[in-house]
Amino acid sequence: MTTLLHRVLHAGPDFPFAVLRRHGGDTVDLYTGDIVDVDALADIPLGTPGSSVQPEVLTLVPYRQVRERGFAAMDDGAPLRCLVVTERETVSLDELLERLPQDAVPLVGGGFDVSDDDYADIVRRVIEEEIGRGEGANFVIRREFTATTEVPAERAVLAWLHALLLGETGAYWTFAVHTPGISMAGATPERHVAVNRDPDSGDRTVTMNPISGTFRHPRSGATGEDFRAFLGDVKETEELFMVVDEEMKMMSRVCASGGRILGPYVKQMSRLTHTEYLLAGTSDLDVREVLRLTMFAPTVTGSPMQNACSVIARHERNARGYYSGVLALFTPLGDGEYELDAPILIRTAYIDDAGLVRVPAGATLVRHSDPTSEVAETAAKAAGVLTALGVMAPAELGPTVDLAAEPGVEAALRARNERLAPFWLQPQHPAPVGSLSGRTALIVDAEDEFTAMLAHQLRHFGMTVVVEHWSNVHDPRVDVDLLVAGPGPGDPLDLTEPRVRRLHELVSARLAAGAPLLAVCLSHQVLAIQLGLPIERLDSPRQGLQLDLDLFGEQSLIGFYNTFTARAGTDAAPTSGVELATDPQSGDVFAMRGRGFASVQGHLESVLSRDGLRTLGSLAAHALAGVAAPAPAAASVSSRS
């Protein structure tokens, strides 16, 4: 037995340690060191460039840290805790399994803090009050299994680790961490973000790993037929696409090259199988800044991210602690640079010094969500950890095949990409040609980070682009060629909301000045109001929906995330000289253009917009060209086929 393994196995409450098995390897890393609590991610004690001291650091990042991005979170005081490594050893998995405690950890009491019926009611309220009122596309609401134990935390997490190593498959990290007051053991399937240096090019590659869509293995055992049916489920497919969109927003913020989508792939575990993508790009940012700009995964929060945090604060009963935060391992490269590996803290059990045990689990709620099914999903996600805790008996499931290798599965996965934007599936290179090259744009961020993807696509055309928060844009006559009024959550008629009121002011003044304007989603609705069109709430929100449209003579497959819509009809005609692209049945206005402006309800920057790049270029060019062009003689209408 190694020295450090012996000390970990006989640890007292004041001896900090971490035991990590990564990527299903046959070895396990053990760490101990000094505990340092800091206030902000930038304070994580990494060595400075040129310093001879470059410690490895394992950081426990609580959910409340999302306030660094200005987002809402209940404050439970969970510390941003760093284990500054002073000693590390590697042992074989077999030796660790032989040495870890194998006796059960007795629990007292036990049950979910939110009942099945109450959780189903929360699901209904979120769909009606949040998604149904335009607050976002999807939200993750958690509940927790809680119990107590008299077993010391440092021993409990090692016993749970033993059970997880034997009972769970497919985990990205399987781990136990103990520090005074905070201990945890888990088997997380999902890497949130990683930064690695390419040994050939020297580039620092950022990778994210959105996982969504949950296939619960039947008791009889999972088959290829079952899984192919799951892959064809609209709700599960849209759920994955929406989180890919949200993480691509983050990739566009941290990577100069945007991000490329790889996949989809299959993540098969003992009781569940998920679908996933990998996103990759390059960045020169400090690894701590990469982590800050990507707090936190939409798979455990929702989208748009800022509003998702507000929805969580409204509907969850208490603070999250470390659930949906990350474990972040910063590994020095020896030249002042660091690599980062940061899995999401899900499928994890927590225990404090008083013996309170918590196992949080959440479900992604979308417009298609069935309350009963979402209740079952939270139970299924907690099941692997609850089995390791001895709360549930090991599932007696029939034999399960390698689902990814089953006939037809690869083709079904590949077919998903036929609906996605080629721009995000390929390496992205600037194409500074045409009328947009050399022009300038200011994008008004209305609290939806789709603006980062918009900026990346406009830069692709050769434009110089700046993104500014709506509260910082006061003068619509700002000295740029094109003002892009961006998307955001909420009701475009609610002028009591300062953000919406500012959009109305900017759009109105820009129109009056005759200065080029492009309006997207919420701002498209604001523009429609300014032009005299009514706004109505859709009977069924179009969150993560694709529509095949005729936009001014060009057929375009576009992704939508809207709850409200502008409508054209006989009772409400827009200002003369405005072209509309509408639905001939409902009158929904999908796009508008006139002298010096253009707008679109959909998200041309979304991965769901297969033809979005072309349409974005066309609308932006129209807005810029319209300054000098004569006004059309009359309005014309094109509509979706």
What percentage of the chain exceeds 70 in pLDDT?
Answer: 95
What pLDDT is stored for residue 637 in this prediction? Answer: 31
Q: Which fold has domain 420-639?
A: Rossmann fold (3.40.50)
Q: Which residue has the tokens 């959440």?
A: 362
Check whether 572 has a pLDDT greater than 60. Answer: no
Say if residue 573's pLDDT is above 90. Answer: no
605 is catalytic: yes
Tell me the CA end-to-end span of the chain in Å, nearest whole number.
Answer: 71
Structure-token pair, residue 277: 């993508």
Per-residue pLDDT at 628 exceeds 50 = no
Cα separation, 277 vs 243, in Å, equals 10
Assess whether 521 carries a catalytic annotation.
yes
Average pLDDT over residues 106-118: 95
Neighbours of 356 (CB within 10 A): 13
Name the active-site residue from 162, 217, 504, 603.
603
CB of 178 within 8 A of CB of 11?
A: yes
Domain boundaries, the chain: 3-417, 420-639
Contact 344, 184 (CB under 8 A): no
Task: Please name the residue that has the structure tokens 């694709």.
Answer: 546
3-state secondary structure 444-512: EECCCCHHHHHHHHHHHCCCEEEEEEHHHCCCCCCCCCEEEECCCCCCCCCCCCHHHHHHHHHHHHHHH
Task: Give dist(CA 602, CA 567) in Å, integer.
Answer: 14
Query: Is the per-residue pLDDT at 629 higher than 60?
Result: no
d(CA 378, CA 97): 29
Distances (CA, A) of 374 to 123, 296, 381, 384: 8, 21, 11, 17
CB 76 within 8 A of CB 64: yes
- The pLDDT of residue 171 is above 70: yes
For residue 634, is pLDDT > 60? no
Least confident of 273-277, 473-477, 498-502: 473-477
Residues 6+ apart with CB under 8 A from 416: 231, 237, 264
What pLDDT was estimated at residue 51? 66
Is the predicted pLDDT of residue 636 greater than 50, yes or no? no
At residue 393, does pLDDT exceed 90?
no
17-26, 127-136, 500-509: range with lowest mean pLDDT = 127-136
Which residue in 236, 247, 579, 605 is the catalytic one?
Answer: 605
Q: Tell me which DSSP letter residue 274 carries.
A: E
**pLDDT at residue 148 tops 70:** yes
> Residues 297-344: pLDDT tens digits?
998 999 889 999 999 999 999 999 999 999 999 999 987 889 999 999
Predicted local distance difference test score (pLDDT) of residue 172: 94
Question: Which of 296, 311, 319, 325 has the alpha carbon at shortest distance from 365?
Answer: 311
The angle formed by the CA atoms of residues 331, 333 and 335, to the nearest 5 degrees, is 135
CA distances from 584 to 24, 435, 554 (A): 54, 32, 16
Split at pLDDT 50, 70, 90, the class of 479 is confident
Task: Write the pLDDT tens digit of every residue in 220-234.
Answer: 888 999 999 999 988
CATH code for residues 3-417: 3.60.120.10
Reply yes or no on whether the pLDDT at 641 is more than 50. Answer: no
Task: Write the DSSP string, 71-99.
Answer: ---------EEEEEEEEEEEEEHHHHHHH
pLDDT at 243 over 50: yes
**Range in 30-34, 148-152, 511-515 with the lowest mean pLDDT:** 511-515
The reply to whether 217 belongs to the active site is no
Model pLDDT, residue 404: 94
| Per-residue pLDDT tens over the stretch 42-77 | 999 997 766 667 899 999 999 999 999 999 999 999
Catalytic residue among 239, 521, 524, 622: 521
Same fold, 3-417 and 420-639: no
| Non-local CB neighbours of 292 within 8 Å, separated by 6+ positions | 41, 42, 68, 69
- Which residues are CB-neighbours of 455 under 8 A, at least 6 positions away? 252, 441, 443, 465, 467
Give pLDDT, residue 39.
97
* 213 vs 569: which has the higher pLDDT: 213
The whole-model pTM stands at 0.89
CA–CA dist 505, 623 (Å, integer) = 19
CA distances from 192 to 10, 329, 439, 534 (A): 32, 12, 36, 42
